[in-house]
Amino acid sequence: MHTLKIPPRTGNMKLILGIESSCDETGIALYHVERGLLAHTLHSQIALHNEYGGVVPELASRDHVRYVLPLIRSALEKAGCTLKDIDAIAYTQGPGLSGALLVGASVACALAYALDVPAIGVHHLEGHLLSPLLSKPAPQFPFVALLVSGGHTQLMRVDGVGRYTLLGESVDDAAGEAFDKSAKLLGLDYPGGALLSKLAQDGTPGRFKLPRPMLHSGDLDFSFSGLKTAVLLAVQQNQNDEQTRADIAHAAEEAIVDVLVHKAVAALKQTGLEQLVVAGGVGANRLLRTRLSELVGKRGGKVFYPDLEFCTDNGAMIAFAGAMRLQLQPEQRDYRFNVKPRWDLQQLNYAD
């Protein structure tokens, strides 16, 4: 049984505790508005879900319960802070798995109530969108953001904190899902994005040509569901040797990256903006980074990436987004929480 002893509180609105628990990572961070990120801790459940080939929601919730308080305690230790130094608590309110979200939300709201500080429900994708601002050099508003995670593929125009416009999105699978499903068909462990990318390095360029749906659709939407069928056919119709698997992985990575790069550059053209921010787990992909930097660079633009540790789910982006929100919105002492497993980022605009 983990317990936290609640001390009396002093101080003002500077130090934000962030709690991320929307899927299969428990992420905790302490962000200070003047001193930056003081500490962050993370527990990944990849090994736990691996044998099932995907995230098992109930196991995810239980594992968040197991880790959330010890991780808060170790983040406080790393930062040299105590509970009484915390001025506000930000938690992921959605989108995500409801049970997993409830763990972070209930801990955040109970702790905030006990400490008499505000609790701020953060949109997970806003966390990803703003995460490049944690790295140096940071982009300036306005910019275009390419959000590429396991659950989402979106192009957003970001005019400022809380001012987001959707430019285009996937009509079916997310880019991360396309990576993971292709990886699964190639016999790789879950989540297979990074593993597929590694296998692709040994692939023969051009042996397989996979479809790039909606590449020339004229809008900024994406479609990736056809790709897994094409990968399935390639797997079934060819010998299952190591070289063939690498060749298919190579073609799959090329197809996904090609579409993402094409649409991201089109979004820059359409908006007339020059800065592109790439956020979400797929943003860790090397080929995507190289291609985007080359092409956007040629146009005189610049691409910004969060540091690799902040690409995938983490508490730092939630603490940071919470800190930004606190500066714009009046603080609230409402500790009733309702998580939002489905939550459109467009509905979030709060700075108009």
Chain residues that interact with ligand KG4, rule: CB under 6 A? 23, 149-151, 176, 179-180, 191-194, 197, 280-282, 284-285, 312-313
Give the number of residues in contact with Zn ion, rule: CB under 5 A: 2
Of ligand KG4, Zn ion, none, which one sits near residue 197, judging by CB under 5 to 8 A according to partner kind?
ligand KG4
CB neighbour burial string for 260-295, b if at least 16 within 10 angstroms, e if fewer? bbbbbbbbbebbebebbbbbbbbbbbebbbebbbeb
Residue 158 is encoded by which pair of tokens?
A: 């970001």
CB neighbour burial string for 303-318, b if at least 16 within 10 angstroms, e if fewer? bbbbeeebbbbbbbbb
- Given the complex with ligand KG4, which of 232 and 328 has the nearer CB atom? 232
- Given the complex with Zn ion, which of 37 and 295 has the nearer CB atom? 37
Question: What is the C-alpha separation between 21 and 29, in angstroms, rounded?
Answer: 12
SS3 53: coil
Give me the amino acid identity at 276. Answer: L
The reply on whether position 313 binds Zn ion by CB under 5 A is yes
Of Zn ion, ligand KG4, none, which one sits near residue 168, judging by CB under 5 to 8 A according to partner kind?
none
Question: What is the C-alpha separation between 273 and 345, in angstroms, rounded?
Answer: 21
CB of 69 to ligand KG4, least distance (A): 23
CB of 70 to ligand KG4, least distance (A): 21
Binding track over 89-128 against Zn ion, x by CB under 5 A: ----------------------------------------
Question: What is the C-alpha separation between 78 and 334, in angstroms, rounded?
Answer: 29
How many residues does this entry show for the chain? 352
- Give 191's DSSP letter: S
Binding track over 146-165 against Zn ion, x by CB under 5 A: ---x----------------
- Given the complex with ligand KG4, which of 159 and 189 has the nearer CB atom? 189
- Given the complex with Zn ion, which of 98 and 217 has the nearer CB atom? 98
Residue 83 is encoded by which pair of tokens?
A: 């509970």
CB of 147 to ligand KG4, least distance (A): 9
Cα 20 from chain centroid (whole Å): 11
- Given the complex with ligand KG4, which of 44 and 217 has the nearer CB atom? 44
C-alpha pair distances (Å), 128 with each of 39, 74, 183, 285: 18, 23, 24, 15
Closest CA to 72 of 60, 54, 85: 85
CB of 115 to ligand KG4, least distance (A): 28
Listed in sequence order, the residues at least 6 apart from 180 whose beta carbon sits closer than 8 Å to its beta carbon are 150, 190, 191, 192, 193
CB of 324 to ligand KG4, least distance (A): 19
The reply on whether position 180 binds Zn ion by CB under 5 A is no
- Given the complex with ligand KG4, which of 39 and 317 has the nearer CB atom? 317
Question: Which residue is closest to ligand KG4 by CB?
Answer: 281
CB of 229 to Zn ion, least distance (A): 26
Question: What is the C-alpha separation between 128 and 284, in angstroms, rounded?
Answer: 13
SS3 181: helix
- Given the complex with Zn ion, which of 253 and 313 has the nearer CB atom? 313
Of ligand KG4, Zn ion, none, which one sits near residue 194, judging by CB under 5 to 8 A according to partner kind?
ligand KG4
CB of 312 to ligand KG4, least distance (A): 3
- Given the complex with ligand KG4, which of 32 and 184 has the nearer CB atom? 184
Binding segment for Zn ion (CB under 5 A), chosen from 38-46, 234-242, 299-307, 309-317, is 309-317
- Given the complex with ligand KG4, which of 18 and 280 has the nearer CB atom? 280
Listed in sequence order, the residues at least 6 apart from 186 whose beta carbon sits closer than 8 Å to its beta carbon are 192, 196, 199, 231, 235, 245, 248, 249
Binding residues (CB under 5 A) for Zn ion: these are 149, 313
